[in-house]
Chain A
Amino acid sequence: MKFILHIWRQANPQAKGFFEKHELEVEAESSFLEMLDALNERLITLGKEAIVFDHDCREGICGSCSLVINGEPHGRHRATTTCQQYMRDYQDQNELWIEPWRATAFPVIKDLMVDRSAFDRIIQAGGYIPVRTGAAPEANTQPVAKPVADKAFDAATCIGCGACVAVCPNASATLFIAAKVSHLSSLPQGQLDHKRPAKMLAKMEAEGFGSCSNYRECERVCPKQIRTDTIVTMNKLLYQS
């Protein structure tokens, strides 16, 4: 398979970016990132700077990878991270446009890499259950109904990749926050902190994310299929508090 690639290059946060064109022969079984690896091997051998992009586990769980491929965060295959996209999914294409996440709160660091540390600061604002090490009671002391535990788990699978922000016309992090609130606050252990949604949402605003106006694009691109009903859960808690 032969592709024409247009890849976003940007030397640093202040520099003006541009699309750089490359042509590449790829095997259908190659993963999307293996294709970029191959291109980078070629660039390094030519003495040129490799294309910078975030990646780590390459099995869809660490949340590092973050590419917009032909306008779609994490590419065309649904419920999947960039690292789990395979070139066979693009057999009907011959031209690919590869860009970083774009949001004010996620400034581009270099090429395809963005700064998502705002997510860490949002978690620091209240995305935890404050229990000291060693202070926990016996685990089975408090039963949790299976549907409640399952719902908490579904929300807890968020990998913090930021695709929800990248796709949102408002660049809002509401789904990210709602997932954490929904996870923690639905469990009996996490119900004490009534201010959790308010604290995290205030931090979101301070970090420069927009607010939610129900486009629900986030739900569509989320690689872990976190649903917008978590936002309903969060809003309910917000108004109750």
Chain B
Amino acid sequence: MTEEQPLDSFSPKGPLEQRWTQHKYNLRVVSPANRKRYRVIVVGTGLAGASAAASLAEMGYQVKTFCYQDSPRRAHSIAAQGGINAAKNYHNDGDSVWRLFYDMIKGGDFRARESNVFRLAELSTSIIDQAVAQGVPFAREYSGYLANRSFGGAQVSRTFYARGQTGQQLLLGAYQAMSRQVAEGHIEHFSRCEMQDLIKIDGKAKGIVVRDLLTGELSSHLADCVVLCTGGYGNAFYLSTNAKGCNTSAIWRAHKHGALFANPCFTQIHPTCIPQHGELQSKLTLMSESLRNDGRIWAPKNPADCGRDPREIPEQDRDYFLERMYPAFGNLVPRDIASRAVKHICDDGRGVGHEINGQKLGVYLDFADAIKEQGADVINEKYGNLFDMYQRITSEDPTQQPMRIYPAVHYTMGGLWVDYNLMTSVDGLFAGGEANFSDHGANRLGASALMQGLADGYFILPTTVSDYLARQTPLEDKDYPEVQQAMNYSQSRLDRLLNAPEPKQTPDYFHRRLGKILWDHCGMARNEFDLKQAIEDIQQLREQFWREIKVSGNDKQLNQTLERAGRVADFMELGELMCIDALSREESCGCHARVEHLTANGEVQRHDNDFGFVSAWQFTGDVVQPKLVKEPLHFDFVSPGIRNYQ
């Protein structure tokens, strides 16, 4: 592939609202009697993986699933709090598939594919139907009908929710659907197994090597295609809202086997997280965006007030900065915009709370007015579990004093490049959910991650994987040299991690250092000088890693230190690619704020003519020299405009 040949997403042509329907008709299907002859591997059993596995198994394929957790029910989709969007228009407030489509395209700052986003908006309504039929206990009104609330970046109420545990309830729905297929013998599931490598036979993805995390044993599994639903890579930053085990290893292995990695620098920083309290902290906790429906964000106008009890700061000395800067959307502006505003206030010396590296990092999220207007019971009913969680962590009661919040890494829009069928650039290798880059452009709107994971898993992958299988002859069971090669490679990598020449430092030591480089230089604000510095720093750190990584124990047993070391090794390489991508994208868009390309009042400035494309990076055999392949983005239905939320 050269730069002169742009990437083709194979998106269908024609009227937007007919593309998916027409495309489905054009795809091939496998007859029910033949389906049991085909095998599918699904790696990762969160929302996307579990729903894909359940649906494919219901169709009659033989499915094998793998997850690193001790049960599929623990995947990090479970932690999604706020909700899931669907264009049901139950509130009769002017919502439609078109409006959801438009909100997502605009929310993503015109860096997503129109065809994909429209399909997602279209499928959103079926997801709600499916979830309700599975017994997902969504919030209901007293009438007995489903309740909705509004979310960032939208002016209609289209978010379905189950208190602050929407992700948990949806994941359990998918997990239960999957469990039913396990019981029926259509799915063979492997918990506590981590993918080590992809097996390609004749250029096609035909299997994986996994390590049984309990025994340390490596084994190979073959199939007719492989689906990766292994989540995002936010843990590259060390401190993030992701679960501790979330990692990039599966998609990074795929990348090294030729799968293009798209928009790695598009990483979402969520505005409302509990601020960091100390150096040894292991993770950050998100407070759902839904809190911004009723909570008002403010900081003291006067830096001298920053140490004061917030309740004593009079109204006229408070700066409700989001309401001031964005009167139309107020506290409900999209995440990237809110995050940058919070950072700006703190950089201005008006932050509150704990000092980290000499700066107070936090602003207030205040419920006093909402409690006055609606009563404590109503507010508790909506946010009770979030308030409890906050109080548990900070020992402060948000109904008595304002919460403190600060942005934190939360979600990665980037991921494996996929075409309209969700197939990567490796034949037979599919990617779903957060692991792919497909639908959110440069910024994801709230309540869209659950929607995308389930659209991919329940509706898109079953259709497109079937089409792929219809064109394959089932793989013969015999010895393939590629299997042994992948096994050998996996073993040699483990050996290398265990036998560094000068073992000194733990995996977490390196992870924390990498995280700091990325957060400082490839976080909420980026510039050329810092990114170049970060690339150099990461290269040095990586050298030090392979020289000094210390892993106790061995690889023939349960060894969590070894697992962590392997994940950090991959983050070390991906981290560099994130910086390279951020450096090459000389514009600002969505989450990607290059300080050279901001307006005087801090708004992002896109350069559509030069950067109206997806950056897909190809592994060239050398991590430091990836090759850029571009997929031009065409906007036939929405004309990219200034993303105004004022």
Q: How far does the alpha carbon of A184 sit from the alpha carbon of B505 in the complex, in Å?
A: 49
A-side interface mostly:
loop
Set of chain B residues within 8 Å of A110, measured between Cβ atoms: 557-558
Set of chain A residues within 8 Å of B75, measured between Cβ atoms: 62
**Are B552 and A61 in touch, CB under 8 angstroms?**
no
Show 25 residue pairs from A and B whose CB-CB distance is below 8 angstroms, ordered by the A residue. A41-B506, A44-B551, A44-B552, A45-B504, A49-B552, A54-B70, A56-B76, A59-B79, A61-B165, A77-B392, A109-B558, A123-B73, A127-B179, A128-B180, A131-B130, A133-B51, A133-B54, A133-B177, A133-B458, A133-B459, A134-B55, A149-B144, A153-B137, A157-B165, A160-B71
**Are B70 and A45 in touch, CB under 8 angstroms?**
no
Closest 3 CB pairs of A and B: A143-B144, A136-B133, A128-B176
B132 at the interface (CB under 8 A from A): yes
Q: How far does the alpha carbon of A119 sit from the alpha carbon of B191 in the complex, in Å?
A: 13
Set of chain B residues within 8 Å of A6, measured between Cβ atoms: none
Given contacts A31-B282, A136-B133, contact A146 B552 (CB under 8 A): no
Set of chain B residues within 8 Å of A33, measured between Cβ atoms: 282
**Are A135 and B553 in touch, CB under 8 angstroms?**
no
**Are B506 and A45 in touch, CB under 8 angstroms?**
yes
* CB closest chain-A residue, reference B277: A29
Q: How far does the alpha carbon of A139 sit from the alpha carbon of B277 in the complex, in Å?
A: 43
Given contacts A56-B74, A140-B146, contact A187 B395 (CB under 8 A): no
A73 at the interface (CB under 8 A from B): no
Using a CB–CB cutoff of 8 Å, the interface residues on chain A facing chain B are 12, 27, 29-31, 33-34, 37-38, 40-41, 43-45, 47-50, 52, 54-64, 77, 79-80, 84, 86, 88, 109-110, 113, 115-117, 119-120, 123-125, 127-140, 143-146, 149-150, 152-153, 156-157, 159-160, 183-184, 187, 189-190
Set of chain B residues within 8 Å of A125, measured between Cβ atoms: 183
Q: How far does the alpha carbon of A116 sit from the alpha carbon of B474 in the complex, in Å?
A: 35
* CB closest chain-A residue, reference B504: A45
Using a CB–CB cutoff of 8 Å, the interface residues on chain B facing chain A are 51, 54-55, 58, 69-76, 78-79, 88, 90, 126, 128-135, 137-146, 162-163, 165, 168-169, 172, 175-177, 179-180, 182-183, 189, 191, 214, 241, 243-245, 277-278, 280-283, 285-286, 388-389, 392-393, 395, 458-459, 462, 504-506, 508-509, 550-553, 557-561
Q: How far does the alpha carbon of A139 sit from the alpha carbon of B281 in the complex, in Å?
A: 42
CB-contact partner of A134 in B126, B144, B281, B285, under 8 A: B126
**Are A149 and B561 in touch, CB under 8 angstroms?**
no
**Are A133 and B146 in touch, CB under 8 angstroms?**
no
Set of chain A residues within 8 Å of B551, measured between Cβ atoms: 44
Q: How far does the alpha carbon of A234 sit from the alpha carbon of B176 in the complex, in Å?
A: 19
Set of chain A residues within 8 Å of B459, measured between Cβ atoms: 133-134
**Are B552 and A183 in touch, CB under 8 angstroms?**
no
CB-contact partner of A56 in B69, B143, B189, under 8 A: B69
Q: How many Å from the CB of A159 to the closest CB on chain B?
A: 8
Given contacts A128-B177, A129-B133, contact A149 B140 (CB under 8 A): yes
Q: How many Å from the CB of B499 to the closest CB on chain A?
A: 13
Q: How far does the alpha carbon of A157 sit from the alpha carbon of B505 in the complex, in Å?
A: 40
CB-contact partner of B176 in A117, A129, A149, A187, under 8 A: A129
Q: How far does the alpha carbon of A73 sit from the alpha carbon of B131 in the complex, in Å?
A: 33
Given contacts A55-B244, A139-B128, contact A64 B285 (CB under 8 A): no
Given contacts A50-B560, A187-B135, contact A62 B506 (CB under 8 A): no
Set of chain A residues within 8 Å of B130, measured between Cβ atoms: 131, 133-134, 136
Q: How many Å from the CB of B474 to the closest CB on chain A?
A: 23
* CB closest chain-B residue, reference A85: B392
**Are B140 and A146 in touch, CB under 8 angstroms?**
yes
Interface centre among A55, A64, A128, A132 (most CB of B within 10 A): A128
Q: How far does the alpha carbon of A138 sit from the alpha carbon of B172 in the complex, in Å?
A: 21
CB-contact partner of B70 in A61, A64, A189, under 8 A: A64
Q: How far does the alpha carbon of A152 sit from the alpha carbon of B172 in the complex, in Å?
A: 13
Set of chain B residues within 8 Å of A54, measured between Cβ atoms: 70
**Are A156 and B172 in touch, CB under 8 angstroms?**
yes
Q: How far does the alpha carbon of A38 sit from the alpha carbon of B516 in the complex, in Å?
A: 19
**Are B558 and A189 in touch, CB under 8 angstroms?**
no
Given contacts A143-B144, A144-B140, contact A189 B392 (CB under 8 A): no
**Are B71 and A117 in touch, CB under 8 angstroms?**
yes
Q: How many Å from the CB of B297 to the closest CB on chain A?
A: 22
**Are B76 and A146 in touch, CB under 8 angstroms?**
no
**Are B137 and A57 in touch, CB under 8 angstroms?**
no
Q: How far does the alpha carbon of A232 sit from the alpha carbon of B139 in the complex, in Å?
A: 24
**Are A62 and B162 in touch, CB under 8 angstroms?**
no
* CB closest chain-B residue, reference A132: B58
CB-contact partner of A156 in B137, B144, B558, under 8 A: B137
Q: How many Å from the CB of A11 to the closest CB on chain B?
A: 8
Set of chain A residues within 8 Å of B165, measured between Cβ atoms: 61, 157
**Are A37 and B508 in touch, CB under 8 angstroms?**
yes
Q: How far does the alpha carbon of A153 sit from the alpha carbon of B170 in the complex, in Å?
A: 12
**Are B462 and A139 in touch, CB under 8 angstroms?**
no
Given contacts A52-B558, A119-B71, A189-B132, contact A62 B243 (CB under 8 A): yes
**Are A44 and B71 in touch, CB under 8 angstroms?**
no
**Are B182 and A124 in touch, CB under 8 angstroms?**
yes
Q: How far does the alpha carbon of A144 sit from the alpha carbon of B132 in the complex, in Å?
A: 10
**Are B168 and A113 in touch, CB under 8 angstroms?**
no
Q: How far does the alpha carbon of A183 sit from the alpha carbon of B138 in the complex, in Å?
A: 12
Q: How far does the alpha carbon of A138 sit from the alpha carbon of B131 in the complex, in Å?
A: 11
* CB closest chain-B residue, reference A49: B553
Set of chain B residues within 8 Å of A183, measured between Cβ atoms: 135, 137
Set of chain B residues within 8 Å of A113, measured between Cβ atoms: 558
**Are A50 and B561 in touch, CB under 8 angstroms?**
yes
* CB closest chain-A residue, reference B385: A157
Q: How far does the alpha carbon of A167 sit from the alpha carbon of B509 in the complex, in Å?
A: 36
**Are A61 and B168 in touch, CB under 8 angstroms?**
yes
CB-contact partner of B280 in A27, A57, A86, A150, under 8 A: A27
Q: How far does the alpha carbon of A34 sit from the alpha carbon of B180 in the complex, in Å?
A: 37
Set of chain B residues within 8 Å of A160, measured between Cβ atoms: 71, 73-74
Q: How far does the alpha carbon of A189 sit from the alpha carbon of B129 in the complex, in Å?
A: 12
